[in-house]
Copies of this chain bind each other. A is one copy, B any other.
Amino acid sequence: MSSGLLRSFNKISDLVVAVARKRVQDIVNNHGFMPLNKSFVSADDVAKRAGVSRSAVSRTFTPGASVSEETRQRVMEAAQALGYHVNQLARGLMRSESGIVCLVVSEMDTPYRARLVRALTHELQTAGKIAMLINTDRSDGSVDAALRQTLHYRADASILLSGLPDKAITRLCLNSGQRIVLINRDDDIDGPFRINLDDGQAARVAVSAFLRAGCRRLAFANSDVGTPSLMARERGFIAAAAEFGLEVRIVRHGNTIYESGRKIAQTLFTGAVRPDAVFCVNDLMAFGLMDGARHDFGLHIPEDLCIVGFDDIEQSSWTSYNLTTFSQPVDEIVKSSVAWLQGDATAGLVRSANLHAPLIWRKTIRNKL
């Protein structure tokens, strides 16, 4: 086609858009209905209708700005009638804040992560922020892309849930002026807010619970993912057991999921000496271990075998498991994360929080021998 034709076509389409917009306005003015049109209502439209300047509209929607009560009313009324919404993209362009917080998470359909993500999005929403969800499953390439997105959208902050995002990511986000929260990720980079659980204390509690139950042959079921928090639990358990002169049999396998627990049951209970107490690094693995122990080896829990897990996910309270486990203080994690994000940047920011994971007693550790 010729460029002349193209040009006139463009002009015509502009004109059409303009006309469409005008018509919408007329309709709005006449009936006060929502525009059934792709183009959004802008502050200009509201200003025109309210008979004030665009600044006045902007100030009306900016908390703490100087507007008289009268004009505010007029603006609000016009905005209501037109169905005006502040365009956060444009606002984020001017202000330093976009209002966007990225949640970087892998395997987010895991019960614990899902619960955390839900709680975080909820808390962020009530704090006036919005959550962007970025998946870091699969290859390193996807992790890279995830970070790129974080920067593309000028996120105010990123919250990294447990998992293993590359260290370079953390660095890059920090350099872009984002605030970063690391949850259960014992990174030693300076700058992020780090939330961790007192895994060592939990391990001590577990050991003493097992001892009180009369157990002596301790085992620890772990994945070989090697996440810092998982390893901290393992080390803590070994150390606590050592204080009582007990050794711990350690088995690691695969990912931190049900099937791995199942597999570890095979390993643990096939040998000559069976452990009588197992600390599972995670509830999912505990379930697998329990099913393996019961189904494949006919063991009774807690009579033959005591088990403790970690996370206290929903399934732990299901009758088939009734797992005694350490509870992740999800509410505290979420509250403190978001509070920190909201905190004044100029003030000295707290660097980390160490939270307590209380033991929830159910039926997988007997009280006495």
Contacts and interface: CB of A to CB of B under 8 A. Distances in A.
A5 interface: no
Given A108-B114, A131-B133, A135-B121, A153 B96 contact: no
Contacts of A287: 318, 320
A130 B142 contact: no
A152 B346 CA distance: 28
Contacts of A118: 107-109, 135, 137
* Interface size band for A: 35 or more
23 contacts: A23-B96, A31-B190, A34-B175, A40-B151, A87-B154, A89-B90, A89-B93, A89-B153, A103-B133, A109-B114, A109-B118, A114-B117, A125-B135, A125-B142, A130-B153, A131-B134, A132-B133, A133-B133, A287-B320, A291-B318, A315-B315, A320-B320, A320-B321
A309 to B, nearest CB: 14
Contacts of A171: 33
A287 to B, nearest CB: 6
A168 to B, nearest CB: 11
Interface in A339-363: 346
A19 to B, nearest CB: 15
Given A36-B177, A109-B117, A85 B148 contact: yes
Interface string A128-170: 0011111101000010011011011110000000000000000
A243 to B, nearest CB: 35
Interface string A279-316: 00000000110111011000000000000000000110
Contacts of A90: 89, 93
Interface in A6-45: 23, 25-26, 29, 31, 33-40
Given A33-B171, A262-B319, A93 B96 contact: no
Given A151-B85, A291-B319, A320-B320, A121 B93 contact: no
Interface of A: 23, 25-26, 29, 31, 33-40, 83, 85-90, 92-93, 96, 98, 103, 107-111, 114-115, 117-118, 121-122, 125, 130-135, 137, 142, 145-146, 148-149, 151-154, 171-172, 174-177, 190-191, 258, 262, 287-288, 290-292, 294-295, 314-315, 318-321, 346
Contact of A295 (B133, B137, B314, B319): B319
Contacts of A29: 191
Contact of A177 (B39, B87, B98): B39
A16 to B, nearest CB: 14
A96 B38 contact: yes
A110 to B, nearest CB: 8
A87 B176 CA distance: 12
